[in-house]
Chain A
């Protein structure tokens, strides 16, 4: 929704990503704020920020598969894992990051295609079940492979990341690296919405039979949606590998897949803004719970299990509340707020 008085005379103007000067300034301020933030915060917060950026990349991918194309995917965490292992393997050959990241993305996309193939026959939650199979098979297969391939039970250590000769070793440098990657991926996700492919995905989501009548190759679109979404997961996986410096199959569980989906639902499925808001909101809730629990059991020993349980309950409650009371997610609330601001003093639409 644009403010009153903003109009375009060419299609080019209408299709631009940031339509108004005010939007450009706002984005520039947010990016500058994110770039300056680590200068004034602790190493712990650098870690939280890096983790949040990586999660955001994965959730943006999920937004393409689930939000734009309407194909439920509950294996995003396994796909992040595939990306992480691929990146760890490629990095061990001494390849630079600008080869490792695209390679991880493509390999992950290819793996996801295998599990998306039943889309030719089934849709809806049946398709979700094949992604569930992917999520459950992931650790079984990784642990079953010969241990000199992908580390087996022990896991794989990851070569440290170097960018243009600089070792990205401190949390702050890693923060800047993931910030840059996240910016690229965010622009890509926003861009997808104004492409022919993006519009085709939305047509398939809204009614696949009607989309087919309009000349869209539905099966190809569904497979491409999985491929694109998993490429994001692959990029997130590569970043995870460098962030954790050690990858094991246990790091990529069904629960993190559910977390990714939960963030997307709480934020709103339809727009990348929803993904961003959801990731930020859930991360804040999670960190808040950590703080509260930490204050309660300061000195207590066996609290980490209870904290994990409490965050699970909170996340489940967040998803259920979002589904029941605001299926359009925080993104819709944000739009309402924004239009109220833009239309003032007139009542918002």
Chain B
């Protein structure tokens, strides 16, 4: 019984981290109608920015950077990356078919992976301990402090982004872009600035996800595979729904943890890895728009 409850708690906490990374998919889609498969790579580059401006600073710049300044520099770098991607890749593709934009995100995946390896090399490095590590116990249960703070952050961020997208004038404009680029343009909504905002939000959220995920742990280029784990979460929650992402994250996190606890010993460790993708295919078959997504109606 305690084992079950512990699995539920662990699953929910890990799931909220997935949810946080899924939000970075959602904000990009919600504001620009782009599913960015390269989100895992964006997360790694964000994490490498954090490393560069904190632990790596003495070696690279020859001087220690104060922590607050390091974080500000990281955010500035994320904004610059987002703007660069918008200007170089996605602005020329406005109005192109969805296939071209999708392929551009795949090309970006390969390119960002290569660039990260060229600039920072493929060596593993330790990530600064921004959130406190360790765990504390409530009754018989053990709670990971880092994940708990991350969970709180995820919930606050979700609420803030939800309010931005549904109650602010700017956020509502982005909804028009997510519906259709050409319609948005004809209504006088700037698709360029929408895509720029989308990418800035996406890189910043992904970097915050990296901080929660990696704080005090090991950073390597393979961390990017978390992007493919968060993709089923974003799909289950609905690609247009900021609030759906953490909920779907909790569902998938708990499912994964239960599979890890009860099924993996019998299936050679396959069950927990397969589960998110089995869920993804099931979602696509049964309810393609996800739990809270917009249902698209097509006419000839």
Binding site for B on A (CB under 8 A): 70, 72, 74, 115, 117-118, 120-122, 124-130, 132-133, 136-137, 140-141, 144, 209-210, 213, 255, 258-259, 261-262, 265, 305-306, 308-317, 319-320, 323-324, 327
Q: Does B142 contact A (CB under 8 A)?
A: no
Contact partner of A311 among B114, B274, B281, CB < 8 A? Answer: B114
Residue of B nearest to A66 (CB): B99
Partner of A126, one of B112, B121, B269, B284: B284
Contacts of B37 in A (CB 8 A): 132
B-side contacts of A315, CB under 8 Å: 107, 110-111
B107→A323 contact, CB < 8 A: yes
B100 CB to nearest A CB, Å: 5
Instruction: Report if A72-B228 is in contact (Cβ < 8 Å); known contacts: A133-B280, A310-B114, A323-B107.
Output: no
**Is A122's CB under 8 angstroms from B100's CB?**
no
- How many A-B residue pairs have C-beta atoms within 8 angstroms? Tell me: 132
Q: Are B285 and A117 in contact (CB under 8 A)?
A: yes
Closest to A117 in B: B285
Would you call B267 an interface residue if the criterion is a C-beta within 8 Å of the partner chain's C-beta atoms? yes
Which A residues are CB-close (under 8 A) to B92? Answer: 324
Given contacts A144-B267, A312-B110, contact A130 B117 (CB under 8 A): no
B106 interfacial by beta-carbon distance below 8 Å = yes
Known A70-B99, A74-B106, A316-B110; further 19 A-B contacts with Cβ < 8 A = A72-B99, A115-B281, A118-B285, A121-B284, A121-B285, A121-B288, A133-B232, A144-B270, A255-B113, A258-B109, A262-B107, A305-B121, A309-B117, A310-B114, A312-B110, A316-B107, A316-B108, A316-B111, A323-B103
Whether A133 contacts B113 by the Cβ 8 Å rule is: no
Check if A140 sits within 8 Å of B104, measured CB to CB. Answer: no
Contact with A along B71-89 (1 / 0, CB 8 A): 0000000000000000001
Complex Cα distance, B235 from A338, in Å, reads 46
B218 at the interface (CB under 8 A from A): no
The answer to whether B270 touches A140 (Cβ under 8 A) is: yes
- 28 A-B pairs whose Cβ atoms sit less than 8 Å apart in the complex: A118-B285, A121-B284, A121-B286, A124-B102, A125-B35, A126-B284, A126-B288, A129-B284, A136-B277, A140-B274, A141-B270, A141-B274, A258-B106, A258-B110, A261-B106, A262-B107, A309-B117, A311-B114, A312-B111, A312-B117, A316-B109, A316-B110, A317-B111, A319-B107, A320-B89, A320-B104, A323-B93, A327-B96
The answer, among A130, A140, A306, A327, for a CB contact under 8 Å with B284, is: A130
| In the assembled complex, B149 has its CB within 8 A of some CB on chain A | no
Q: List the A side residues contacting B273 at CB < 8 Å.
A: 140
Select from chain B the residue with minimum beta-carbon distance to A146.
B268
Q: Which residues of the partner chain A approach B35 to less than 8 Å between Cβ atoms?
A: 125
Residue of B nearest to A262 (CB): B107
Within 8 A of A (CB), among B135-155: none
User: Given the known A-B contacts A72-B102, A132-B228, A265-B103, are A122 and B114 also in contact in the complex, defined by CB atoms under 8 Å?
Assistant: no
Closest chain B residue to A309 by CB distance? Answer: B117
B127 to chain A, nearest CB (A): 21
Shortest CB-to-CB span from B212 to chain A, Å, is: 23
Q: How far is the CA of A306 from the CA of B123 in the complex (A)?
A: 12
Please measure, in the bound complex, the distance between the C-alpha atom of A125 and the C-alpha atom of B281, giving whole angstroms.
13
In the complex, residue of chain A having the shortest beta-carbon distance to the beta carbon of B267: A144
Counting chain B CB atoms within 10 Å of each CB, the highest count among A137, A262, A305, A313 belongs to A313
Closest to B268 in A: A144
Chain A residues with CB under 8 Å of B277's CB are 133, 136-137
Other-chain residue from B99, B118, B267, B298 in contact with A310 (beta carbon distance below 8 A) = B118
CA distance A124 to B109 in the complex (A): 19
Closest A residue to B273 by CB, please name it: A140
Question: Do B281 and A130 have beta carbons less than 8 Å apart?
Answer: yes
Q: In the complex, what's the smallest C-beta–C-beta distance from A326 to chain B, in angstroms? A: 12
Q: Are A209 and B300 interface neighbours, CB within 8 A?
A: yes
- With a cutoff of 8 Å between Cβ atoms, the chain A residues found around residue B298 in the complex are 209
Which residues of chain B are within 8 angstroms of A118 by Cβ–Cβ distance?
A: 281, 284-285
Complex: how many Å from CA A309 to CA B270?
30
B115 lies within 8 A of chain A by Cβ: yes
Alpha-carbon separation in the docked complex, A309 to B123 (Å): 13
Known: A144-B267, A210-B300, A309-B114. A130 touches B96 (CB 8 A): no
